[in-house]
Amino acid sequence: MQFSQQGPYQIQGLSLEALAQEYGTPLYVYDADIIERQVQSLHTAFGGLKHRIKYAAKALTNQAILKLMNKNGVELDVVSIEEAQLGLQAGFAPSQILYTPNSVSFKEIQEAVALGLTINIDNISILEQFGNAYESSVPCCIRINPHIVAGGNAKIQTGHIDSKFGISILQMKHVARVVRSSNIRVEGLHIHTGSEFLNSDVFLQGAELVFDAATDFPDLRFIDFGSGFKVAYKEGDHVTDVMELGQKMTQAFKRFCAEYGRELEIWFEPGKYLVSECGYLLANANVVKTTPSSVFVGVDTGLNHLIRPMMYDAYHEIVNISNPEGAKRIYTVVGYICETDTFGYDRKLSEVREGDVIAFLNAGAYGFSMSSNYNSRLRPAEVLIYKGKAHLIRRREVLDDLLRTQVDFQV
């Protein structure tokens, strides 16, 4: 359980229940100390190499979080032109932003070039168009699909042979011909096998494939190994040992650089690793409903605010922060959406009473960023705990927000 030792259900000495009372529920709360701890762990693990940490902005795009990353020496990985614009608004320089889109039009690629971003290309068609438009005047990175199955749920496995992501490792000779014929300056190679890989050997397996491919690209400045570092969602979960990975990758990368003939930079793109454990979604227990087979706790949030359990079968620890000493009982925790939006089946919680505050842990990554207005529900507020103080970093939506982009029509 990632709570401060200062007391039960507190962050930096602030009571989560008191925050729920002050800001209302549902409410996302983020602990800046955990983000800074995770950042430092990566800088330490890869400190023996010239490295850059590129935060995967899609995990959590609030401007306050982006500014905190920037302050801690983290750069940015974006997958859309809008994420890039948010990064620029947050103070990142264009040179600090890696743009890695998938299935976008060439027009969006051109927008990214105009902004001065580092362009990561993941299909041969776009690579050919890129070469025809820019030749060597604009450098690029190439994303390789290693044909490695790694990651948790199938929806976050990005490096297997049937994945839509990246250019097949088997097509590298074709890519090299396109690069030569169009005089394209390739400054980086990129690989991402998937989220939540289980051991460093899988990571190193992908690295060796990239090292082999690198011999066809003499102008490299960096190699980007993506991320996928796993954090624990429940007691006993496997986690990525980043210190072990850092030690093995440092040895392998230094050998590669010696063979390549010069020192390159090594890049990583963590998202979940940096922000998952910092986040808590607080909700009110609206109803406790007994049926012949179950006891349901119905809360004032749902898949519209935290879709990971429904989309990925993801596990989030759930606790009753209003009654920590209550007798343990078995509940199925469900949302208020007109779908089967179950957060957890048969969970052992301290006895839940209507009105209690329920907390979903590890909700920082792909929580608010994947939220929606389904059922015309409003999205929650966000609060950042920074240096012992609570800061409202996104207000709660109101009905006018649902209508803001609609155009009046008279029937």
Q: How far apart are CA 88 and CA 34, in angstroms?
A: 24
Q: Indicate the pLDDT class of residue 238, thresholds 50, 70 and 90.
A: confident
Q: Indicate the pLDDT class of residue 72, thresholds 50, 70 and 90.
A: very high
Q: How far apart are CA 296 and CA 356, in angstroms?
A: 14
Q: What per-residue confidence (pLDDT) applies to 161?
A: 59
Reported as a single tens digit per residue, the pLDDT across 85-109 is 999 999 999 999 999 999 999 999 9
Q: What per-residue confidence (pLDDT) applies to 195?
A: 56
pTM: 0.93
Q: How far apart are CA 322 and CA 220, in angstroms?
A: 55
Reported as a single tens digit per residue, the pLDDT across 360-384 is 999 999 999 999 999 999 999 999 9
For 40, the token pair is 């430092």
For 29, the token pair is 């709360």
Distances (CA, A) of 45 to 19, 41, 192, 227, 247: 35, 6, 19, 14, 7
Helix then strand count (H, E) for the chain reads 12, 20
Output DSSP code: residue 407. Answer: P
Annotated binding-site residue? 366: yes
Q: How far apart are CA 35 and CA 287, in angstroms?
A: 34
Reported as a single tens digit per residue, the pLDDT across 103-146 is 999 999 999 999 999 999 999 999 999 999 999 999 999 999 98
Annotated binding-site residue? 339: yes
Annotated binding-site residue? 312: yes
Give the mean model confidence (pLDDT) for residues 253-277. 97
Q: What per-residue confidence (pLDDT) applies to 194?
A: 63
Q: What per-residue confidence (pLDDT) applies to 73?
A: 97
Q: How far apart are CA 7 and CA 14, in angstroms?
A: 9
Whether residue 336 has pLDDT greater than 70: yes
Output DSSP code: residue 405. Answer: T
Annotated binding-site residue? 308: yes
Q: What per-residue confidence (pLDDT) applies to 196?
A: 59
In this structure, the number of other CB atoms found within 10 A of the CB of residue 247 comes to 15
Q: What per-residue confidence (pLDDT) applies to 352?
A: 98
- Arithmetic mean of pLDDT over the chain: 93
Residues serving a catalytic function are 338
Reported as a single tens digit per residue, the pLDDT across 151-207 is 444 444 444 456 788 999 999 999 999 999 999 999 999 998 765 556 677 788 889
Q: In the chain, what are the domains?
A: 10-29+278-403 (2.40.37.10), 46-272 (3.20.20.10)
